[in-house]
Chain A
């Protein structure tokens, strides 16, 4: 395994929901290519419905693309790869009938971790996200931020090299997402994991990412990739640095026209159904 080999390789991926030419088909992605390097945090950002969440699902083998290929550590993706990558979803996707620690143990059961090892690993994952005191709580007893921490612990316990995060902080308030972002940056600097992170938030993208892929409006493809050259862990002071603002403005400049395009498209009555369908398939619950 050479270090030059990307963690995830996306080659000419297109995806369409529904049959081509059908009244309700949506071209979500068009000929998208992207290499995610080992150990980097790669953000995907773009207007709603641009296919960034679809691309994440394709990377994780949850959706088969209509064209193109994805490789993970050189292996072609044909279905879920629970040993190579773990997901964190927008809503925590914790099983509400299990406690936090049962949720984590169940994830490892699904993945096939030996029984003797599960407890120990669950403990370590809970420690990493600072949730040891909440191990026996049910998800319904936790705040949104705590639920996402627990979901992150579940993903960490699977000990995959790659984490795919689909707007994991999207449903949280501004302060909570800032704190969770800081924690994630610290975690990343320790664990050397490769993370692909879908977000709507410009600030979040600049604060967390090593590289940001900016998507165009539908049919989505990558318009430009911006590098954020700042070591992890990142401090809150980074958010007030001139570099942060310059990058944020650059991102906004790139996104501005695409967001307008996406808005006019979605306000055309006939297309509205498409938009809703695509957003749903996209994993966006707007």
Chain B
């Protein structure tokens, strides 16, 4: 009985969400076709759809997607390995946690995108400056969650393991790691998301290639229909990647 009511309620909220998106599309259609907003500012949804089909079918997106995902992969690999290693080492000493945790949290709070001009100056307009920015931004949630995960493992559990004769390696494998993992995975997911955002954002500011670069390029050429189509394409890619990462995180959690 109660189950059926919650299912019904869930179906209703889904319907409202879909109706809301449909209404937005309708407004867009009306604005472009009936109210006569300029095509340069607001393309016809049908044109955008056709462009999207063309982008996907022709494979025109492949070089840009490759650049963006390549930058993301390298940036995330760097921030993950550095963040997890440094975070673990800091978490081993109460003193280091006390010194570095507030310091890292404070740096995390400043808008790190401000470093982009510096990175471009140092590393050029190519992928390296995007990688550096993505790695810098995603390092902080990863290192902080690793410190939080390993640094605050229940003392009683550690004492219990020791009293039963656990070696250092066994303590790590069976106590510290499973205790830290849920917190750490949340940080890794967040790190992945901000790395993706910052890589695309920095491509729109200064670059030669990548999805962000393509969108800016199309805007500058007033090819707004194709630009909108690329925006939709990027949104779909980002949603897909985030869903995959969330799925992976959910799988690794213990209840």
How many B residues face the partner with a CB closer than 8 A?
18
Choose, from A81-89, A180-188, A206-214, the stretch at the interface. Answer: A81-89
B254–A110 touching, CB < 8 Å: no
Distance between Cα atoms of A97 and B179 in the complex (Å): 8
B121: min CB distance to chain A, Å: 47
* Alpha-carbon separation in the docked complex, A82 to B175 (Å): 17
Q: Which of A89, A97, A158 has the most CB of B within 10 A?
A: A97
B165 and A87 form a contact (CB under 8 A):
no
The reply to whether A140 and B255 form a contact with Cβ atoms under 8 Å apart is: yes
B13 on interface, CB distance cutoff 8 Å:
no
Whether A80 pairs with B162 at a CB distance below 8 angstroms is yes
Which of B128-136, B152-160, B195-203 lies at the interface with chain A? Answer: B152-160
The complex places the Cα of A80 from the Cα of B160 at a distance, in Å, of: 10
Query: What residues on B are CB-neighbors of A60 within 8 Å?
Result: 163
CB distance from B28 to the nearest CB of A (A): 49
User: Which chain A residues border B167 with CB–CB below 8 Å?
Assistant: 110
Residue of B165, B179, B254, B255 touching A112 (CB-CB under 8 A): B165
Q: Are A82 and B163 in contact (CB under 8 A)?
A: yes
The answer, among B156, B157, B159, B161, for a CB contact under 8 Å with A110, is: B161
- Chain A residues in 8 Å Cβ range of B163: 60, 62, 80, 82, 86-87
Assembly CA distance A80 to B254 (angstroms): 29
Beta-carbon contact of A62 and B254 below 8 Å: no
Cross-chain contact of A111 among B165, B175, B254 (Cβ < 8 A): B165
A118-140 contacts to B (CB < 8 Å): 138, 140
Question: A17 — which chain B residues lie within 8 A by C-beta?
Answer: none
In the bound complex, CA of A161 to CA of B178 (Å) = 31
Interface centre among A80, A82, A110 (most CB of B within 10 A): A110
Shortest Cβ distance from B179 into A: residue: A97
Bound form: Cα–Cα A87–B157 in Å: 12
Contact with B along A55-82 (1 / 0, CB 8 A): 0000010100000000000000000101
Q: Which of B156, B170, B175 contacts A109 (CB 8 A)?
A: B170
With known contacts A95-B178, A96-B254, A110-B170, A89–B160 Cβ distance under 8 A:
yes
With contact pairs A93-B157, A96-B254 given, residues A110 and B164 touching in the complex (Cβ less than 8 Å): yes
Determine whether the beta carbon of B162 is less than 8 Å from that of A62: yes
Q: Report whether A86 and B162 are in contact in the complex, using a CB–CB cutoff of 8 Å.
A: no
With the chains together, A83 CA to B167 CA distance in Å? 14
- Residue ID in chain B nearest A102 by CB atoms: B174
Contact residues in A for B162 (Cβ distance below 8 Å):
62, 80
A97 to B162, CA, bound (A): 18
A97 touches B254 (CB 8 A): yes
Q: Mark A198-217, 1 if CB is under 8 A from B, else 0.
A: 00000000000000000000
Q: Contact between B174 and A106 (Cβ–Cβ < 8 Å)?
A: yes
B218 contacts the other chain (CB 8 A): no
Instruction: Give B4 Cβ to nearest chain A Cβ, in Å.
Output: 26
Residue in chain B with minimal CB distance to A112: B165
Pairwise interchain contact A107-B157, C-beta atoms closer than 8 A: no
Judged by a CB distance under 8 angstroms, whether A91 is at the interface is: yes
Residues of A within 8 A of B156 (CB): 89, 91, 93
Asked whether any CB of chain A lies closer than 8 Å to the CB of B166, the reply is yes
With a CB–CB cut-off of 8 A, which chain A residues contact B166?
110
Q: How far is the CA of A247 from the CA of B248 in the complex (A)?
A: 60
Shortest CB distance A260–B (Å): 30
CB distance from A59 to the nearest CB of B (A): 11
Given A110-B167, A110-B170, A140-B255: 5 more A-B contacts, CB < 8 Å? A80-B163, A87-B164, A89-B159, A93-B159, A111-B164
Ranked nearest first, the 7 interchain pairs of A and B with the lowest CB-CB distance are A82-B165, A93-B160, A97-B254, A110-B164, A110-B166, A97-B178, A87-B163
Spell out B's residues near A (CB within 8 Å): 156-157, 159-167, 170, 174-175, 178-179, 254-255
Q: Can you sample 20 A-B contacts with CB below 8 Å?
A: A62-B162, A62-B163, A82-B165, A86-B163, A86-B164, A87-B163, A89-B159, A93-B156, A93-B160, A95-B175, A95-B178, A106-B174, A107-B164, A109-B174, A110-B161, A110-B165, A110-B166, A110-B167, A112-B165, A138-B255
